[in-house]
Structure 1
């Protein structure tokens, strides 16, 4: 891996590509292996690829040259009154890609897509054991909110209003 962040690029891809499957398998394997035992068993639930199709969603892969180092998705979920909500899902950066701004670059693309699709807010859930992820989300302006889903793996739910340029 290069130390030059300029080597990292993010591209929108179909969520059913083999490279996406490989990244999501690594993500689910890592989460299952590191899931806090006090919370029970990790639920290996993958969002169907069909939910990441424009204009209701998008999926991205980050690469360092030819090597895939991260992925993440965005999908529309049920509106909350006048709030048009899109949810960030499956944000993952490989150990080789961490600490290089990969997650930030992917979130930039996902948030821009949400705005382009007409979102008024972006929501996500995570687990408090993912300290770096929580810090990144809060640093991007996400605020903790009450649970908006019943994800058994989640302990924290966040929302960020979409600001129009």
Structure 2
């Protein structure tokens, strides 16, 4: 598996994002969806990464938005058949390195309360629970986490 920075508007990557949305949307009310669209993922302050298998097939993706006070993970997703094999952890490490290289001292994230596997992954990677940050407000469907880099 390889992970590198790529454009998010590739058809194969858009299919990954659609798969993520199809998984998340039934779990939460519409007002509790905080995913960003492809145009936001293409912004200069965003590092967007794609994990690819040996045949070059996209297996996962993720982004880190790097602001002046913190970095924020967005759209981190690994295909279900690739989970438990280190792909998500590798993607997370790659995105943390991108944030560090762009001067971020801390990475934050918002995820849903029903995404137990993701929460466990973030905890194993050293993320701690925190209050809402940035423009987020308290939301009973959300979990907020942070990790100093």
**What is the TM-score of this pair, normalised by structure 2?**
0.85
**1:59 to partner: Cα distance:** 0.6
In the alignment of these two chains, the number of paired residues is 146
* 1:60 pairs with 2:49: yes
8 Å CA contact retained: 2:61, 2:75? yes
Whether 1:134 and 2:119 are equivalent positions in the alignment is yes
The 1:130/1:46 distance shift into structure 2, 3 A limit, reads: closer
CA RMSD after TM alignment: 2.3
- What is the TM-score normalised by the length of structure 1? 0.78
Q: Give 1:54-133 correspondences, 5 Å limit.
A: 56-65=45-54, 66-77=56-67, 79=68, 84-133=69-118
Q: What is the DSSP-based 3-state SS (H/G/I as helix, E as strand, rest coil) of the residue aligned with 1:71?
A: strand
Unaligned runs of 5+ in 2: none
Which runs of 5 or more structure 1 residues have no equivalent in the other structure? 1-7
Does structure 2 retain, via aligned residues, the 8 Å contact 1:73–1:88?
Answer: yes
Where does structure 1 differ by over 3 angstroms across 4 or more consecutive aligned residues? 39-46, 48-55, 150-154
Q: Which range is displaced more, 89-98 or 51-60?
A: 51-60
